[in-house]
């Protein structure tokens, strides 16, 4: 889990690039991407066979997640997820009424040079790395005159999503508020999605969460520069559902009222919280003996004599992870803000490791359930956290 292989792999996967696309980044006002050496003039080559294997795994995993959530709804067996009852109501309502899943990201280990593909987690609700995986990765390709292709149609697929959403939900007025808690990266992600919706005909506005008026029984409003209230039928939020559940119960109460009365359509929908939960991943992996699921348990003793990893049910940015060796000694750990959530344990697995002892973790984005884009994070330590570098991928021309 966010772990590395002890052996080296094929020399030559890592490629040197001549340029970082700084011009297009500053033109689009995403200067935060240029901080802290996050973007480096390097990439990684993949074969088409490897890319298709990742895509096949994502497709099957998503189908399994959907089927298992449908079964939980049928049996009303949500207890193990430890969620508030009003959140359960929203999960059931948004799933049964086919609220569309805008964008998520599967994190995978392995898949390169014969390493098995293993699912680490599903960032289904508020996936990061969207701007850099979309237009920045594409700009790396063009600026460095790469020959071949990429697995990257993210921006186009998001445009298609909003175009179809406007048609399928024609009863709603196409007005969208993008929001976050105001952190620069989250705001940039929200604005990126907002701008795509705007290109497809939505009336758009960004504002921090604290500036939105959630009115029970009426809807969602912002104050215009003229001092008037403007209502939006859609919200795109870079605010995790678990934050709303456990930190903002009053907001959960209001959203419960507004969503069940069809007064607002939230992207991503409430059921993505289930997909994001590692308790759900533990549940699914124990039911399905598929090669891409890691052995998982809420009891660490089942890993006696094996390497394993401790995570929390809802974590972000590589925080609150502990890695244990065969004698249950901690090899590496990170602190963070999510240690109060339930613990889940997974078997150790190998990330791809290049000839420079750098470790790679794949992020595979899906738009409306379908694979859309992939990119990598790279680090020189076992846990891939917020200090990792962004690495674009390329599929050389054969």
List, for residues 108-118, the tens digit of each pLDDT value: 999 999 999 99
DSSP for 348-394, please give it: --PBEE-TTS-EEEEEEEEETTEEEEEEEEEESSSS--TTPEEE-EE
- Beta-ladder partners of 371: 366
* Per-residue pLDDT tens digits for 370-388: 999 999 999 998 889 888 9
Domain match, 325 and 227 both:
no
Domain match, 305 and 197 both:
no
In a domain, 9, yes or no: no
φ, ψ of residue 396 in degrees (nearest 5) = -60, 150
Integer angstrom CA distances of residue 358 from 9, 379, 393: 11, 6, 15
Amino acid 317: pLDDT: 77
* Per-residue pLDDT tens digits for 313-341: 998 777 889 999 999 999 998 888 888 88
In a domain, 2, yes or no: no
Residue 98 has pLDDT above 60, yes or no: yes
Mean pLDDT, residues 198-206 taken together: 96
In a domain, 8, yes or no: no
Domain match, 315 and 210 both:
no
SS3 347: strand
Amino acid 377: pLDDT: 97
Domain match, 200 and 330 both:
no
Mean pLDDT, residues 5-26 taken together: 74
Residue 5 has pLDDT above 50, yes or no: no
Residue 274 has pLDDT above 50, yes or no: yes
Residue 353 and residue 9 in contact, taking contact as beta carbons nearer than 8 Å:
yes
Amino acid 10: pLDDT: 40
Domain match, 174 and 34 both:
yes
Domain match, 199 and 268 both:
yes
Mean pLDDT of the chain: 93
pTM of the full structure? 0.94
Q: Which residues contact 342 (CB under 8 A, 6 or more apart)?
A: 82, 279, 298, 312, 313
* Per-residue pLDDT tens digits for 351-368: 999 988 899 999 999 999
In a domain, 359, yes or no: yes
In a domain, 4, yes or no: no
Residue 96 has pLDDT above 90, yes or no: yes
Confidence label for 397 from pLDDT (cuts 50, 70 and 90): confident
Amino acid 1: pLDDT: 42
Amino acid 12: pLDDT: 61
Residue 59 has pLDDT above 70, yes or no: yes
In a domain, 169, yes or no: yes
In a domain, 154, yes or no: yes
* Per-residue pLDDT tens digits for 239-271: 999 999 999 999 999 999 999 999 999 999 999
Integer angstrom CA distances of residue 3 from 246, 323, 376: 30, 8, 14
User: In which element (H, E) is residue 274 found?
Assistant: helix 272-276
Amino acid 386: pLDDT: 85
- Residue-number span of the structural domain to which 323 is assigned: 284-347
* Total number of domains in the chain: 2
DSSP for 91-130, please give it: HHHHHHTT----EEEEEEE--STTPPPEEEEEE-SS---H
Domain match, 340 and 241 both:
no
Domain boundary among the residues 331, 347, 363 is at: 347
In a domain, 5, yes or no: no
Mean pLDDT, residues 191-204 taken together: 97
Mean pLDDT, residues 67-78 taken together: 97
Amino acid 193: pLDDT: 98
Domain match, 178 and 297 both:
no
Domain match, 147 and 170 both:
yes
What percentage of the chain carries pLDDT values higher than 70? 97
Domain boundary among the residues 347, 367, 388 is at: 347
Domain match, 314 and 366 both:
no
Amino acid 213: pLDDT: 95
Dist. CA 376–CA 390, nearest whole Å = 6
Domain match, 327 and 355 both:
no
Domain match, 153 and 135 both:
yes
């Amino acid at each position: 889990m966010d772990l590395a292989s002890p052996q080296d792999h094929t020399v030559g996967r890592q490629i040197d690039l001549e340029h970082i696309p700084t011009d297009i980044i500053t033109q689009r006002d995403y200067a935060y991407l240029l901080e802290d050496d996050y973007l480096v003039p390097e990439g990684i080559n993949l074969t088409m066979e490897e890319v298709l294997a990742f895509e096949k795994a994502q497709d099957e995993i998503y189908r399994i997640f959907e089927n298992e959530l449908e079964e939980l709804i049928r049996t009303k067996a949500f207890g193990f997820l430890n969620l508030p009852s009003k959140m359960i109501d929203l999960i059931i309502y948004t799933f049964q009424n086919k609220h569309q899943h805008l964008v998520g990201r599967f994190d995978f280990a392995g898949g390169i040079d014969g390493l098995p593909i293993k699912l680490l987690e599903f960032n289904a609700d508020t996936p990061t790395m969207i701007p850099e995986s979309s237009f920045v990765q594409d700009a790396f390709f063009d600026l460095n005159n790469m020959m071949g292709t990429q697995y990257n149609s993210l921006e186009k697929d998001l445009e298609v999503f909003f175009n179809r959403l406007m048609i399928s939900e024609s009863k709603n007025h196409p007005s969208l508020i993008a929001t976050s808690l105001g952190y620069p990266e989250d705001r940039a992600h929200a604005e990126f999605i907002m701008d795509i919706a705007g290109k497809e005909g939505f009336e758009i506005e960004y504002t921090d969460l604290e500036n939105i008026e959630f009115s029970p029984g009426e809807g969602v409003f912002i104050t215009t520069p003229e001092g008037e209230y403007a209502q939006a039928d859609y919200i795109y939020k870079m605010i995790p559902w678990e934050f709303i559940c456990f930190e903002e119960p009053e907001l959960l109460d209001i959203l419960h009222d507004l969503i069940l009365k069809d007064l607002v359509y939230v992207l991503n929908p409430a059921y993505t919280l289930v997909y994001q939960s590692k308790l759900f991943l533990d549940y699914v992996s124990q039911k399905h003996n598929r090669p891409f699921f890691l052995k998982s348990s809420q009891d660490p003793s089942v890993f006696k004599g094996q390497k394993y990893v401790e995570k929390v049910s809802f974590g972000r940015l590589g925080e609150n992870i502990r890695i244990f060796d065969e004698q249950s000694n901690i090899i590496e750990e990170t602190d963070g803000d999510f240690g109060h959530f339930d613990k889940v344990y997974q078997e150790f697995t190998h990330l791809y490791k290049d000839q420079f002892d750098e470790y790679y973790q794949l992020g595979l984005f899906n738009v409306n359930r379908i694979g859309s884009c992939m990119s990598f994070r790279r680090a020189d330590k076992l846990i891939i956290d917020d200090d990792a570098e962004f690495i674009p991928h390329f599929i050389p021309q054969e």
